[in-house]
Amino acid sequence: MKFTIEWLKEHLETDATNAEIIDTLTMIGLEVEEVIDQGARLKDFVVAHVVSAEQHPNADKLRVCKVDAGTGELIDVVCGAPNARTGMKAVFAPVGTYIPGSGFTLGKGNIRGQASNGMLCSGRELEISDDHNGIIELPEDAPVGISYPDYAGMNDVVIDVAITPNRGDCAGVRGIARDLAATGIGNFKDPVIKPVPSDAGPSPIPPLPHRFSEGEPKAIRKFAGRLIKGVKNGPSPQWLQDRLRAVGLRPINRLADITNLISMGWGRPLHAYDADKLVGEIHLRNARSGERLEGLDDKTHSLDETMCVIADDSGPLCLGGILGGEPSSCTDETVNIFMECASWDPELIAQTGRKTGIVSDARYRLERSVDPQLTEPGLELATKWVIDLCGGQACEPVISGEDVIPEPVIDFPLHEVTRLTGLKLGLPEIKTVLSRLGFWVSGSGDFVKVAVPSWRPDVTIKADLVEEVMRIVGVNRVPVEPLPRLSGVAPKMLTPIQNRRRLTRRTLATRGMNEAVTWSFISSELAEKFGGGQAELKLANAIASDMTDMRPSLLPGLLAAATRNQNRGLSDVALFEVGQVFVSDAPDGQRNHATGIRTGTAGIGGAGRHWQGKGEKVGVYDAKADLGAALDAFGVDIDKVQVVAEPADWSHPGRGGRVQLGPKVILGWFGELHPALVVDFDLDGPVAAFVIDLDAIPEPRRKATRAKPALDISSLMAVHRDFAFVMDKNVEAANLLKAARAADKALVADVTVFDVFEGAHVGEGKKSVAIEVTLQPRDKTLTDEDIEAVSSKIVAAVEKATGGTLRG
Partner 1 sequence: MSASLTELSATLSQEIAAASDDAALEQVRVSALGKKGSISALLAGLGKMSPEERKEQGPAINGLKNDIAAKIEARRSELRAVALEKRLASEKLDVTLPLRPAPTATGRIHPVSQVIDEITAIFSDMGFAIAEGPDIETDYYNFTALNFPEGHPAREMHDTFFFNADEKGERKLLRTHTSPVQIRTMENQEPPIRVVMPGRTYRNDSDQTHTPMFHQVEGLVIDKQSHIGQLRWVLEEFLKAFFEVESVTLRFRPSFFPFTEPSMEVDVQCDRSGNEVKIGQGSDWLEILGCGMVHPNVIRAGGLDPDIYQGFAWGMGIDRIAMLKYGMPDLRAFFDADQRWIEHYGFRPLDLPTLFGGLSS
Say whether 378 sits in a helix, a strand or coil: helix
Q: Are 370 and 269 in contact (CB under 8 A)?
A: yes
**In angstroms, what CA-CA distances link 81 with 120, 130, 138, 588, 725?**
8, 15, 15, 75, 105
> Which CB atom, from 139 or from 479, has the smaller least distance to partner 1?
479
Least distance from C-beta 587 to partner 1, angstroms? 4
Say whether 498 sits in a helix, a strand or coil: helix
Residue 750's CB is within 10 A of a number of other CB atoms, namely 13
Is 37 known as a binding-site position?
Answer: no
Closest residue by Cα to residue 450 from 424, 411, 421, 416? 411
Strands lying side by side in the sheet with 748-757: 748-757, 766-775, 719-728, 805-806
> Which CB atom, from 279 or from 539, has the smaller least distance to partner 1?
539
Instruction: Identify the helix (H) or strand (E) that includes residue 255.
Output: helix 254-266
Q: How far is CA 412 from the centre of its chain?
A: 36
CA distance 162 to 148: 31
> Which CB atom, from 88 or from 433, has the smaller least distance to partner 1?
433
State the DSSP code for 485: P
Q: Are 233 and 334 in contact (CB under 8 A)?
A: yes
Least distance from C-beta 109 to partner 1, angstroms? 36
Least distance from C-beta 31 to partner 1, angstroms? 6
Is 786 known as a binding-site position?
Answer: no
> Which CB atom, from 14 or from 421, has the smaller least distance to partner 1?
421
Q: How far is CA 238 from the centre of its chain?
A: 40
**Interhelix angle for 173-182 vs 254-266, to 10°?**
20
Least distance from C-beta 649 to partner 1, angstroms? 23
Q: Are 450 and 456 in contact (CB under 8 A)?
A: no
Least distance from C-beta 163 to partner 1, angstroms? 9
Least distance from C-beta 513 to partner 1, angstroms? 5
CA distance 550 to 581: 7
> Which CB atom, from 28 or from 282, has the smaller least distance to partner 1?
28
633-639 long-range contacts, CB within 8 A, separation 24+: 633/503, 633/504, 633/506, 633/507, 634/499, 634/500, 634/503, 634/504, 634/697, 635/700, 636/667, 636/697
The answer to whether the Cα torsion of 164, 169, 173, 177 is positive or negative is: negative
Least distance from C-beta 554 to partner 1, angstroms? 11
CA angle (241 as vertex; 126, 267 as ends), nearest 5 = 125
**In angstroms, what CA-CA distances link 265 with 1, 22, 470?**
11, 18, 26
Least distance from C-beta 731 to partner 1, angstroms? 33
Say whether 550 sits in a helix, a strand or coil: strand
> Which CB atom, from 256 or from 625, has the smaller least distance to partner 1?
625
> Which CB atom, from 195 or from 613, has the smaller least distance to partner 1?
613
Q: Are 465 and 449 in contact (CB under 8 A)?
A: no
Least distance from C-beta 108 to partner 1, angstroms? 34
β-sheet bridge partners, residue 441? 450
Say whether 341 sits in a helix, a strand or coil: strand
> Which CB atom, from 539 or from 746, has the smaller least distance to partner 1?
539
> Which CB atom, from 63 or from 178, has the smaller least distance to partner 1?
178
Least distance from C-beta 604 to partner 1, angstroms? 5
Strands (E) located in 233-297: 271-274, 283-286, 292-294
CA distance 591 to 584: 10
CA distance 277 to 282: 11
11-14 long-range contacts, CB within 8 A, separation 24+: 11/173, 11/174, 11/176, 11/177, 11/178, 11/188, 11/189, 11/190, 11/265, 12/177, 12/180, 12/181, 12/185, 12/186, 12/187, 12/188, 12/189, 13/186, 13/187, 13/189, 14/180, 14/185, 14/186, 14/187
CA dihedral 796, 800, 805, 806 (to 10 degrees): -30
The answer to whether the Cα torsion of 294, 299, 304, 305 is positive or negative is: negative
Largest CA distance in the chain: 131
Is 371 known as a binding-site position?
Answer: no
> Which CB atom, from 223 or from 521, has the smaller least distance to partner 1?
521
The answer to whether the Cα torsion of 355, 356, 362, 364 is positive or negative is: positive
Least distance from C-beta 368 to partner 1, angstroms? 7
Going by C-beta distance under 8 Å and a sequence separation of 6 or more, which residues neighbour residue 718? 749, 774, 775, 776, 777
Least distance from C-beta 299 to partner 1, angstroms? 21
> Which CB atom, from 32 or from 661, has the smaller least distance to partner 1?
32
Least distance from C-beta 295 to partner 1, angstroms? 21
Q: Are 680 and 671 in contact (CB under 8 A)?
A: no
Is 467 known as a binding-site position?
Answer: yes
Q: Are 97 and 146 in contact (CB under 8 A)?
A: no
Least distance from C-beta 322 to partner 1, angstroms? 14
CA distance 267 to 371: 9
Least distance from C-beta 367 to partner 1, angstroms? 6
Pick out the residues of the known binding site.
Answer: 458, 464, 467-468
Pick out the residues of the known binding site for Mg(2+).
Answer: 458, 464, 467-468
